[in-house]
Amino acid sequence: MTDPAFLFLGNQDLSGILRGRSVPHARMSEAMAGGLPWVPANITIGALDTLPPDNPFGPMGEIRFAPDPEAMVRLGSHGDGPVFDLALCDHLTMDCAPWPWCPRLALKDAVAALTAQGLTMRAAFEHEFTVHGLDQPVHVAFSLSAGRVVAPLADRVLATLDAAGFTLEQFQAEYGASQFEISAVPADPLTAADRCVLTLETIRDTARGMGLRASFLPKPALDRVGNGVHVHFSLWRGGRNVTCEGDWLTADSAPFAAGLLDEAEGLIPLTVLSANSYARLRPHSWVGAFTGIGVRNRETMLRLVPRARAADGSNPGASIEYRVTDATANPYLVLAAIIRAGLGGIAAGKPAPPDVAQDPADLSEAERARLNLRPLPQSIGAALTPLAEDRARAWLGAPLAGAYFSCRRNDARHAAEMSFEDLAARLSLVY
């Protein structure tokens, strides 16, 4: 690989889009040490590149990007184009204090609150996406042939991530047309979110360099399967995975999971970001369109995934899968919200939720009510409630929550002015 020409500093904004600016590589040491100035309002630019009318920043002010040398990747050249380094950043004030709107700092705060309870989390993002431009007459789900067709892309992505110091757990041809999936290896929450951003950008950028287009749009068409993101997380205490005992939740994970389920209406706008995303949350589509947790159940919001038990009875590979998010969401906010809602469940000493052993959509309303299985909002308008904004304020602080909800209301306004198809076509080029 030739020497990099530019260093790009930035991170995901409140619409899950990586934005930032580049310096010539000769200025790398200076930029890595001192950061770069940035414009506060930029964090609220939406997917259609418009600022929300009630955006809190206006034209004033300046903040700093503070890059983390642990969160970098070197993106290869596209033909004759230059090599780029990408470094992910915190957003700080000019005095290098935490900036209250920074998603990465919100996650660091949530992790500190978890640690204060004697718990740690390991998390791994699993992404589904569509690759446009592949030469395959038919996409056979989960087949070797589809896997081979995308293998040159996957191979380059793996080499890039390997050079950045991490790898992926697996990739596969998914069920949908030209749909693929990659899964990350579990890591601490901040590393998991950083790797999520680096992986998404590497896949998009590498595909572009090969004349392909990778799109993580959650619902490409109403009659096609969605591109989901599933977040696998496990809770650890004293070096032991305390997510599962036998095939069920533990004294640590039961109240945490109950917190997530009881706060579903607050979690959803933070983990289901775009107007397009809500079309994915349909029953019978292996997404989880109802609250609830079930052992190995792919139709509940949470899936408990017990793995092989160790000789001492522990379950070191067990995880809970949070199924109702997608790649339009900001991964720092997704994990921060999960941790905060879970901690709320622990603080309240919530009892274990019932194990849901069926597809909730196949149960009667009375049965769903008995198991407290609530349908998740089916549109961005239905999700943006005062209650949800209140929960976001409690979990992320009033400034970040306020700006985030301004962005979502702006999304909802745009969505109301466009057909599903027009919005999907546009967002497919962004996400």
Q: Which residues bind Mg ion (CB under 5 A)?
A: 181
What DSSP state is assigned to residue 374?
Answer: P
Q: Which does residue 287 touch among ligand GLU, Mg ion, none (CB within 5 to 8 A, set by kind)?
A: ligand GLU
CB of 182 to ligand GLU, least distance (A): 12
> What is the closest distance, in whole angstroms, from the C-beta atom of residue 226 to ligand GLU in the complex?
3
Minimum CB separation of residue 224 from ligand GLU in Å reads 10
Identity of the residue, 198 or 287, whose beta carbon is nearer to ligand GLU in the bound complex: 287
Q: Which letter, b or e, does each residue of 381-408 get, where b requires 16 or more Cβ atoms within 10 Å of its Cβ?
A: bebbeeebbebbbebbeeebbbbbbbbb
Stretch that binds ligand GLU, among 56-64, 132-140, 225-233, 333-341 (CB under 6 A): 225-233
Interface region with ligand GLU, contact rule CB under 6 A, candidates 30-38, 182-190, 220-228, 397-405: 220-228
**Minimum distance, C-beta of residue 246 to ligand GLU, in the bound complex (Å):** 24
Binders of ligand GLU among 280-299, rule CB under 6 A? 280, 286-287, 298
Percent composition of the chain: helix, strand, coil (DSSP 3-state, to 5): 40, 25, 35
Instruction: Please count the residues of the chain.
Output: 431
Q: Tokens 């999971």 belong to which residue?
A: 257
Task: Provide the β-strand partners of residue 65.
Answer: 36, 91
Place of tokens 């589904």: 128
Question: CB-wise, 128 or 389, nearer to ligand GLU?
Answer: 128
Q: Which is nearer to ligand GLU, 172 or 206 (CB)?
A: 172
- Eight-state DSSP code of residue 393: H
Beta carbon of residue 249, minimum distance to ligand GLU (angstroms, whole number): 21
Residue 321: strand pairing partners: 232, 303
Is 270 in contact with 284 (CB distance < 8 Å)?
no
CA separation, residue 99 to residues 62, 89, 103, 173 (Å): 11, 12, 9, 41
The one of ligand GLU, Mg ion, none whose footprint includes residue 207, by CB under 5 to 8 A per kind, is: none
- Nearest approach in angstroms of CB 281 to ligand GLU is 9
Total residues contacting ligand GLU (rule CB under 6 A)? 8
Nearer to Mg ion, 90 or 326 (CB): 326
CB 272 → Mg ion: shortest distance, Å? 17
Q: Which of 13, 85, 90, 128 binds ligand GLU (CB under 6 A)?
A: 128
Task: Give the span between the Cα atoms of 37 and 34, in whole angstroms.
Answer: 9
CA distances from 254 to 172, 310, 358, 409 (A): 32, 21, 19, 34
- Measured from each CB, the residue nearest to Mg ion is 181
| Residue with Cβ nearer ligand GLU (323 or 350) | 323
Q: Which of 189, 228, 259, 269 binds ligand GLU (CB under 6 A)?
A: 228
Q: Does residue 226 touch ligand GLU according to CB under 6 A? A: yes
Task: Find the binder of ligand GLU among 225, 336, 383, 415 (CB under 6 A).
Answer: 225
User: DSSP secondary structure string, 245-262?
Assistant: ETTEE-TTHHHHHHHHHH
**To the nearest whole angstrom, how small is the minimum distance from the Cβ of residue 11 to Mg ion?**
26
CB of 251 to ligand GLU, least distance (A): 29
Looking at the Cβ atoms of 298 and 309, the one nearer to ligand GLU is 298
Is the CB of residue 183 less than 8 Å from the CB of residue 293? no
Decide whether 181 or 201 has the Cβ nearer to Mg ion: 181
**Burial class of residue 69, CB neighbours in 10 A (0-12, 13-18, 19+):** exposed
HSE-CB for 292 with a 13 A CA cutoff: 30
**CB of 249 or CB of 287, closer to ligand GLU:** 287
Residue of this chain nearest to ligand GLU (CB atom): 228
Whole-angstrom CA distances from 168 to 77, 162, 195, 337 are 22, 9, 10, 24
- Terminal Cα-to-Cα distance of the chain (whole angstroms): 27
* Binding stretches for ligand GLU (CB under 6 A): 128, 225-226, 228, 280, 286-287, 298
